[in-house]
Structure 1
Amino acid sequence: MYKRNDGLTEDNRLQNRFTSYLCRSVHNRRIDYFRGKEKPLRIEIMLEDMDYLVTEEQDRILQFAEYDALRQALKEIKEQERYILLARVIEEKSFSQIAGETGLSYKGAAAAYYRTLERLRKLLGGGRRGF
């Protein structure tokens, strides 16, 4: 018959900590899963809402010109830099996740991200912070 873990012995305390760790891990993974499912929907809705914000023809022309400049600047950076930038900005991945996917360290992924931002600022002709 099942005997409840009272936590009095070292083994029982260790088992309690491990069980707690496992429950928290499953809970966090479940939240990450649902956030991942929700994220593409949020991006699609945001893109649809942007169409309503642009009403005048001149605004549309400026918008396309900015997109073309950004698209050209993204073509000029390396593939890994582009992946790191888009994973961080679009997919909202952490530097730890990006580092695991690219084989870099946490600091290496963060440094590559910020270097890429600076390079894009220079390519787009903007010297201001807060890209």
Structure 2
Amino acid sequence: MKTEIRNDWEQRLLRSFIDGDESAIDTLIDGYRQKVYNYILMLVKDRQTADDLCQETFIKVIGSLRGGKYAENGKFISWVLRIAHNQVIDFFRGGRKPTHVTNEDAGYDVLNNKELADPTVEDRMIRDQMEEDVRKLIDRLPEEQREVVVLRHYFDLSFKEIAQQTGVSINTALGRMRYALINLRKLVDERRLAFA
């Protein structure tokens, strides 16, 4: 989805939710759940912890929206990403296990997701294996390069947004991406991996 169209889509759904349409938040969360989960998984490297932190992230998102703490001055996903990042930091700082929440606690049905029902088991296995292979390659990158790859390809952030998020110049963000791609190509060649 093009950025401008996606921003309009986000803002319509956010306004609908704030105006009382509870189903609007389900649609919005479904649109970003996999990206947020993948980002968290890249950082914590444990599926259960990533699931839990992803749920906690969206619970905070909903609470913040209900409390009027979201300002429509940027991309919604950038805001969600900051919340997810803070959840991960809190997790590592506290050495705690994430709390498990019910659908009632969350204020939406966490498991009611079309993505869980549509793919066949075989499709899911192939996709999971490819995602795991890519994650393993990305995990081998230096931290600064890995961060830029995740923000760019999993969150569709512009290099300007990446620069703001990471506190570096746009040229530095571009340079990190360039080196990350060079390093990923080398890793793919070394392992003779094929991605369809």
State the TM-score, normalizing by the size of structure 1. 0.51
Q: CA 1:62/1:41 → structure 2, altered by over 3 Å: closer, same or farther?
A: closer
1:43 and 2:107 are equivalent in the alignment:
no
Query: RMSD across aligned C-alpha pairs, in angstroms?
Result: 3.7
Equivalent in 111, 117, 123 of residue 175 of structure 2: 111
Does the 8 Å contact 1:70/1:124 carry over to 2?
no
Partner amino acid, structure 1, of 2:187: L
Moved more, 86-95 or 37-46: 37-46
Q: CA 1:53/1:85 → structure 2, altered by over 3 Å: closer, same or farther?
A: same
Alpha-carbon distance in 1 for matches of 2:179, 2:140: 14
Q: Which runs of 5+ in 1 are unaligned?
A: 1-29
Q: CA 1:100/1:123 → structure 2, altered by over 3 Å: closer, same or farther?
A: same
For 1:54, the equivalent position in structure 2 comes to 119
Tell me the percent identity.
22
1:92 and 2:81 are equivalent in the alignment:
no
Q: Which runs of 5+ in 2 are unaligned?
A: 1-6, 15-24, 38-112
Write out the 4+ residue segments of structure 1 that deviate beyond 6 Å after TM superposition.
Answer: none
Alpha-carbon distance in 1 for matches of 2:182, 2:29: 27
Q: CA 1:50/1:40 → structure 2, altered by over 3 Å: closer, same or farther?
A: closer
Alpha-carbon distance in 2 for matches of 1:99, 1:77: 18
Alpha-carbon distance in 1 for matches of 2:128, 2:170: 35
Alpha-carbon distance in 1 for matches of 2:148, 2:119: 30
Alpha-carbon distance in 2 for matches of 1:109, 1:119: 15
Aligned residues: 96
What are the residue-to-residue correspondences of 1:2-81 with 2, within 5 Å? 34=11, 40-44=29-33, 48=113, 50-51=115-116, 54-55=119-120, 57-81=121-145
Alpha-carbon distance in 1 for matches of 2:145, 2:158: 15
Structure number, greater radius of gyration: 1
State the TM-score, normalizing by the size of structure 2. 0.37
